[in-house]
Amino acid sequence: MVGVWWTLPVELGFYLLLPLLAPLLRPARWLTALAGGIAISILYRYWAAAHFGPLGSDHAFLAASQLPGSLAEFLLGASAALLVQRLALTPSRRPSAWLLDLMFVAGLLFPSIWLWQVVLAAGADYWQGHWSMLVAPVALGLPLAMAVASLYWGCRIGTWLLANRVVYFLGLISYSLYLWHFVVMQQIQVSIGERYATLPHWVTFPVSAGAVIALASASYFLVERPFYRLQPWRKALRPGSKPGE
């Protein structure tokens, strides 16, 4: 109904949920919370498929993807963050370099195989309550959390692929990319007309990508970044602050 922006209420829900989960962010409680969250996520997605599936895949997709349908992914990501922080505070050694590389590769390879061999194979039945839809947050969240953890520990392959200026810049403008890419791609299709659909992907992709990156960059530097510079002004206006602080 709202294009890619259906994710915004999910993100907002995560921000509202995090303070409630804070008391559980301890090793003695977290595994129970993780297991409970995964169970809730699976049960909710089953309910969403049963109730919204008859209305069509779009309705079932939007319903199942909202909280708590995405709760398992959120908790698995938080688990990865807790794990790396806990190991940083203990004298135990980090995983070896080859193990980190294996974690990173497997963490990206498994979701790709899952999407190709399971999700695409399920076809139209996927959002109607297919078993793979019910466990998808775990099947995708666990390997991706593992890959993120390996990056935190300095995975060599991940560093080579992602720790470069191009990726850093795309990360810098990533939120603007998210907000603008849908609009830009729509307007390109409207401007070119029906013949746009007949163009090969090696033509449409660089055109769309170039336009999206250009607008997202402008949005970042002209809208987002100026707000970062407001911090000194807020300090200057704070009661009791001295000039130049």
The domain tally of the chain equals 2
- Angle in degrees, CA 132, 137, 142, rounded to 5: 110
Structural contact between residues 140 and 194, judged by C-beta atoms closer than 8 angstroms: no
pLDDT of residue 239: 60
Mean pLDDT confidence for 55-72: 87
Cα separation, 155 vs 147, whole angstroms = 9
Q: Is 172 helix (H, G, I), strand (E, B) or coil?
A: helix
Q: What is the pLDDT of residue 233?
A: 55
Residue 14 has pLDDT above 70, yes or no: yes
Judge if 173 and 155 occupy the same domain. Answer: no
Domain boundary (143, 163, 183) is at: 163
Measure the CA–CA gap between 25 and 21, rounded to whole angstroms: 7
Look at residue 22 in the predicted model and tell me its pLDDT.
82
175 lies in the same domain as 196? yes
Q: Is the peptide bond before 137 cis (omega within 30 degrees of 0)?
A: no
Q: How many whole angstroms separate alpha carbon 161 and alpha carbon 163?
A: 6
Parent domain of 197: 169-237
| pTM for this model (two decimals) | 0.76
Of 82, 81, 67, nearest to 37 by C-alpha is 67
Per-residue pLDDT, 236: 54
97 alpha-carbon distance from chain centroid: 26
Tell me what pLDDT residue 105 has: 94
Q: Are residues 140 and 223 in the same domain?
A: no
Q: What is the pLDDT of residue 199?
A: 85
80 and 22 together in one domain? yes
Q: Which domain-ending residue is among 102, 134, 163?
A: 163
* pLDDT one-digit tens code per residue, 198-234: 888 888 889 999 999 999 999 999 998 888 777 665 5
Residues 73 and 105 in one domain: yes
Q: Is the pLDDT of residue 42 over 90?
A: yes
Instruction: Judge if 42 and 156 occupy the same domain.
Output: yes
Let me know whether 231 and 176 are in one domain. Answer: yes
The answer to whether position 242 is within a domain reads: no
Mean pLDDT of all residues belonging to the chain? 86
What mean pLDDT do residues 3-22 have? 85
Query: Could you give the percent of the chain with pLDDT greater than 70?
Result: 93
